[in-house]
Chains A and B, each alone.
Chain A
Amino acid sequence: MTRYTLYIAVALWLAILAGLKLLVRPPMPASVLMIYMTLSTLGILVFVAANEERFGNFIAPLRAVFEGRAPRLVQVLVLAGIPLLLAWGAWLRTAPSSDAPFEPRVVHPEPPASFALHGRRIETAGLKNPLRVPDAAQLEKNTAEGKVIYYRNCFFCHGDTLRGDGHFSGAFSPIPANFRDVGTISMLQESFVFWRVSTGGLGLPRSATPWNSAMPVWQTMLTEEEIWKAILYIYAGSGSTPRTWEEEPKK
């Protein structure tokens, strides 16, 4: 058994690679796969090297090859295989591809301290949804109005189920935000959403590649109140709650 340490390690490595490549659906991006495989390699190597006996078993076959004690065929395979592997790697890196280049994009950039809305300056700090009133009936009414606004404006891209799968969604890259994803509106404050809706893709900072976002500047089409109502609806409709930093008010 101990003679096979090296082979077990290689097999494990290949198994992890295959597992990540084949079992994770939708496929993970190459950058993440690279991180995961690097760390797995590191884990395997550190584990092997952390014990003298294991390490000895691990490098014994390698020593045999490089010191010329292994069978001739194995030596040839290894010595020819290493340059070939490197060449393959080099080819993979340099081969032309029709993929669009990497677009480093910060998904949730920091909101500005203030932004212009209908010619006024709005401070983002401490901004709250004025229509999120404690009165349940009133809140329901606001939300229902927000729903109408949503279906007249946002529905076409963000979709009926608020999953970002509206009729036009397939035409955009990046595709519209999925409000039911835990990583989107449920981890954001309403002030952030308000900023994004009001200023649209154009209002994004450079790090978030404003030229890539198809989100319209909604303040040119909706009033402030309408935007807040629509925000009420997307939270209610997707079954999420906005992020707050204060404790919930005691009821």
Chain B
Amino acid sequence: MKVTIAKIFLFMLAVVSLYAYVGQLVPQFEEHPPKKKVITPQTTGDDLVAAGQEILRGKGGCLICHKDQERGNERGPDLRRAAGKAATRKPGIAAEAYLIESMVEPYAFIVEGYPKMMPPAMKPPASLSMAEVKAVVAYLQSLGGAEVTVSVQAGDVAAGKKAVGPVHRGRQLMDANGCLGCHKLAGEGGAVGPELTRVAERREPAKIAQKIADPKLWTAEGFQAGLMPPRPDLPEGDRQEIAAYLAGLSGKAYSPTGAASPWSHEGVRLGVVIAVFNTVMLLVLAWARSREKSPLSPGPSPIEGEGRNAAGDAT
């Protein structure tokens, strides 16, 4: 008996190993997900331009006020002409250096006719590194049709100032997506949009998550409608995290994965289902027990009784 079992087990191991062996005969290679773009001193030309475009449209949050196409915001100067005008904006500074300065220290020179409202690029909310700033410059130069002269040095790659200590993921996401470019939050950020520190007192967190994707839902009083760029590209989970963070600032509890109503909470619903099934089973048991104990009565015939019993339990 033991020998046979051992034989069968060995047979199984042999079969399974044979399959695994054939698996070793086919070409072996790992496939990795596409790398996230990291700007290095080797990044030049088109790659740098593409990276700059991505930063400008995403993380940098530049398009909240500027435009790089025919349509767009005009709170700040038109970026399509930025590189072309850079050489003549401020006397005594070269075009490339001017572009960098205009981002890193925006208040060093204000273009006439525009308010003083741009947050420095290397500080929160954008928190760009010098390399990223230079990538944006490369993009701006390419927009103007000029030659891309900017190049990234080894020292530029280190990231800008990072927050110390643990940060709520929702806050990280807000920083990363440039929300603070317009909104004020706990004393930081711009003034284009309403302050968000206590926003969860006025609005439901779930609605806030929706509003990020679709700003048309409402507009706060005293602010112009249609300014806020819709961000439907942000994953649902990230928007919920932001809503949860804002809810927390107002002292509200909000689970990014579940709504606030007690019934919709997983644990409660699970508990109710368990309780219902156990109670029903206990009731049925009690009923069966009472029938077992009751003296024989010329009631319904046993077959019918059993049939009903079984069918009743099944449903």
Contact = CB atoms under 8 A, between A and B. Distances in A.
Interface in A201-237: 205-207
A19 interface: no
B31 interface: yes
A116 B29 CA distance: 25
Contacts of A206: 29, 31
B213 to A, nearest CB: 23
Main secondary structure of the interface of A (DSSP, over half): loop
Contacts of A102: 27
A207 B29 contact: yes
B306 interface: no
B46 interface: yes
| Range of interface residues on A (Cβ < 8 Å) | under 10
Contacts of A130: none
Contact of B27 (A104, A116, A205): A104
Contact of B31 (A104, A119, A207): A207
A119 B46 contact: yes
A104 B28 CA distance: 8
Interface string B36-54: 0000000000100010000
Nearest to B49: A119
Interface in A98-126: 102, 104, 116, 119
A102 B26 CA distance: 11
A138 to B, nearest CB: 33
Contacts of B27: 102, 104, 207
A113 to B, nearest CB: 10
Contacts of B50: 116
A158 B29 CA distance: 30
A37 to B, nearest CB: 14
B3 to A, nearest CB: 22
Nearest to A105: B27
B157 to A, nearest CB: 24
B4 to A, nearest CB: 20
Contacts of A104: 26-29
A116 B50 CA distance: 10
Interface of B: 26-29, 31, 46, 50
14 contacts: A102-B27, A104-B26, A104-B27, A104-B28, A104-B29, A116-B46, A116-B50, A119-B46, A205-B31, A206-B29, A206-B31, A207-B27, A207-B29, A207-B31
Given A116-B50, A207-B27, 12 more contacts: A102-B27, A104-B26, A104-B27, A104-B28, A104-B29, A116-B46, A119-B46, A205-B31, A206-B29, A206-B31, A207-B29, A207-B31
